[in-house]
Structure formats: C-alpha cells, structure tokens
Amino acid sequence: MPASDSVFFIPEMSTDQRVRVFRRNFGGIEEFDGMEVDAYVIITERYVVVLDTLLCPEDASAMVQMVKDQLPGRQLLVVNSHADWDHSWGNAYFTGECAAPIIAHEYCLTRMLSDEARQELLEYKQRYAIFQNVALVPPTMTFDQHFTILGGDMTIELFPAPGHHLDHIAVWIPELSLLLAFDAIERPLPILENAEAVPSMFATLERLLALRPKRVLCSHSKPASVALVEENLAYFREIER
C-alpha cells in the first residue's frame, strides 16, 4: 500500500528516541482544514507499538515505513486511544500481510461496530477521496480497567480516560514519567462527548495529574504540558461548583 505524504516525523516533540511522534495535517478536508493530529510509535526491547493509526491506511503505512528498521526482532502491536475517525481509520493497514493485534477499550469495539460508525464512514467516502481505502477494522483485544504491555525496558500502561468519549484511554510510561493524554486534554478545552460527561472528564483530569508526569503529549495541542492538564481541570472544577 502506498504511504501518505501528509504524515511527518516530528523529532523535536520527544526527548527519547524510543518515543516517535508523527503528525498528520488535515489539508484537503475542507471543514477541518488547518487542523492536525499526532500519533506515536514506541519502540521497546520486545515491541514496536503504534498508538493511533490516524485517518486512513496510507497514514499508518507511512508511520510503519519510517520505523521499519526497528521491526526485526520485535512484535508489532497497535493501540487505539478511541474510535474517532482521526485516530482509528488507519486500522485496515494492520490486516493481511501486515496483521498485528489491535488493543483498545472494550467500548471502542462497540463504537466501531455500530450503525453510526458505518454511516459516518459512508458519508466521508462520498465527500473525500482520502477515505476510499478505509475499512472499519475493530480492535482484536479489548480491556475494561487496565492493560499493561511489558516491553522489557519500558512499561506501557493503558487505562480508561473517559470524558471526550466513553471509550477514550490514556497511556502512562512510568520509566519516562511520560503521559500520552490523546484527546483528554486540549487547548483551550477538550471536547466532551455530552454534558453528562463533565464528571467523567473531571475525574480523568484528576487521575492524570495524580500520576505526576514530567512530560505530557496529546493529540491536538502543541506543545502540551502538565500546565495544560491543570488549566483544563481548573475549568471543569469551576463549572462543577
């Protein structure tokens, strides 16, 4: 499969070469023009872990091609932070010859198998050529409360972080004090699933801060920081009063 030319490696976003940050711009998608989304590849002794597959299989192909020299001797794994189209529609790349386990929250499976997801993909395919090779490929391994990948030199801890969506997760790498918050934080504010999700988002942000991260990365706000988590939490504390 050809690789996307809209995915770029952003080395300055990580202080550790084992954590690779990739950025996809939304050029050509009119209503989202100018937006960007980040995904990650974490290289451990045992695994190459792709965290989010971006917009289409060509995007996932681009990321894998840029780390292909790290694949020999390592198992390829995939993690979906949640089922939104800009985070999981590249999953189809990891089937067939490039098959790899796809890990996500159990509700991510529910979302990707829903009629709403199929209708959304149909509408996007009718409007934009970029999505023509997208297929809804759901996770092959799911969890509810916690999932740990023991990479040898690094531990990758997956845990629920609802608020943006019920299936949303975050990732903690204790050896690096690195938090991958995905869409749980954003500038000026993260997008909530609905008004009823405010308590969930409040609890998620408190949990993220309780980890005491030294480094924070997220999907849509560059640069991210612990201060951004604190700012988002302060807002939700205010509206919870």
Q: What DSSP line would sit under 179-221, residue for residue? A: EEEETTS-SS-PPPSSGGGHHHHHHHHHHHHHT--SEEEESS-
What residue numbers bound the domain in which 81 lies?
A: 7-182
Confidence band, pLDDT 50/70/90 cuts, at residue 241: low
Q: Give the CA radius of gyration of the chain.
A: 17
Whether 41 is in a domain gets the answer yes
Give residue 197's pLDDT band: very low, low, confident or very high (50, 70, 90). confident
Q: DSSP label at 54?
A: B
Query: What pLDDT does 5 receive?
Result: 81
H helices present in the chain, as ranges: 57-66, 85-88, 106-112, 115-127, 198-210, 226-240
Q: Is residue 240 part of a domain?
A: no
Quick check: 2 pLDDT over 80?
no
Q: Quote the pLDDT of residue 83.
A: 98
Number of domains in the chain: 1
* Inside any domain, residue 218: no
In a domain, 68, yes or no: yes
- Which pLDDT band, with edges at 50, 70 and 90, does 240 fall under? low
Average confidence (pLDDT) over 126-145: 96
Residue type, 7: V
57 part of a folded domain: yes
Average pLDDT over residues 104-133: 97
- Taking residues 182-191, what's their average pLDDT? 92
Q: Is the pLDDT of residue 32 over 80?
A: no
What one-letter code names the amino acid at 104?
Answer: A
Q: Domain of 59: which CATH number? A: 3.60.15.10
pLDDT at 28: 67
| Mean pLDDT value of segment 125-148 | 96
Q: Over range 144-157, report the average pLDDT.
A: 98
Domain presence at residue 110: yes
Q: Decide if 95 is inside a domain.
A: yes
Give the separation between CA 86 and CA 34, rounded to whole angstroms.
Answer: 14
Residue 108, domain member (yes or no) = yes
% of the chain with per-residue pLDDT over 90: 81
